[in-house]
Structure 1
Amino acid sequence: MSTSDTVSPPKPRRGRPPGRPQGAADGTDQRKRLVEIALALYARYGYAGTTLAAIARAADMTPAAVHYYFKTREQLFDEIHEAHIAPMRTRVEAIFHEHAGDPVSAFVKVAERFVEVAEEHGWIAPVFFGDLLTESQSFRKHVRKKVDYKTQAAFNDRIRQWQADGLLNPGLEPSLVMPSIMSLTMLFMAARRKWKDDPIRKDIDRETIRRHAMALLGHGLGPGKA
């Protein structure tokens, strides 16, 4: 056999080096898509019921492909927290700066903002109320790492000072004021889906919830006897 007839053996195929999943969309777009899918699942199942495997199924991807973008669901929630929750907190803080001498007006404005947020982000209430009320510790443990307890304690002291100055009802428990406002707004906004077959509350809409919260807060937060 001549040299020209010699057939060279095929070169061994190299495995695909680590990196973005083959055939995947642009990395930024894919991450954004996975976050949007996670938020939609949060709205239905909360944080505890939304695993990376569930996100992979909804995205029609393999779990390994999702792991390329987010190693854990905690990492995914961290991104959601920075993109959505942290800005909300900043806006709430700004409202209190804008109404520094009128805490009743500030809390009413915050309640209005919470109604808007619940309308814009259907996952907020199911995550914070559903998961905080379940026996699962996974969400609470992760969220606690993001809570600035010193800032919360300072805000509670600020409420006590407003009470001492006669600007807020002295019968209020400072640590329960913000959770109460969230319950009046975000929780009721989320409950609307459950009330579709409720003969008494089926017609409750966003404006009704907003008006109810404004009326209740305007009197319940006003200065008066304990």
Structure 2
Amino acid sequence: GIAAYGLAQEWWHLFPAIVLLAAGNIAFPAISKVVADSSDDRTRTRAFTLIYTVGPSVATLLSPSLGGVLADTVSLRSIFFAGAVGQLVAVLFFSRLRPVESSDAAQSGGSYRAALAYRPVALLTGFFLLMLLVLTTGFTLVPNFLRDVHGIGFGTIGQFGSVSAAGSVILGIIIAKVGVFGRPMNALLLTVALSAVALALFATGTAIIWFALAYFTRGAYLVAWS
């Protein structure tokens, strides 16, 4: 999927690339199950935060800046091919995951239809769908906004990505360590509020320092997503 982005010659070529990239998400329920089965109720929030937030954020401390350098010195397309290589390495690591036997293994599994028929699950699913749709749409358009409206270069935008990763790491560690955030909804409220602050800073900011602060606060988006 990522390599297909680099090969695209017209805007409509991106549609199959997006489908291919999104298809990779089918692996995440299985990965999440391994994480859930490997932890208990007391440590599950911490485990998900460290694996889905702190881990990727540590990597993205360097990758956005590197991507900005590649865009400025080689080409914008080179970023996608470098990303494709990184994805292949990730596949090798994920292929080594093995299911963990949990105490609930003997219980019969339910279907997605049965889960969605349960009203609280349906409401939460709708809430998360709307939340991620709004936040992802907004943050996806930010680099274009900074480039087209404020004339900020790809290299600087890449460095902003590293600032965002630092925000994710710090916030992820805080959530993992502070007891009150052991309740997932408390962590979710904090991260969604910070994401809203970030979007407000992008919309009203006029200087580099404001955009840097916005990207740092944007780090809450990855935590909210996880």
Of the two structures, which has the highest relative contact order with CA contacts closer than 8 Å and spacing of 6 or more? 2
In terms of Rg, which structure is larger?
1
Q: TM-score, normalised by structure 2?
A: 0.30
Q: TM-score, normalised by structure 1?
A: 0.30
Structure in which a larger fraction of residues adopt helix: 2
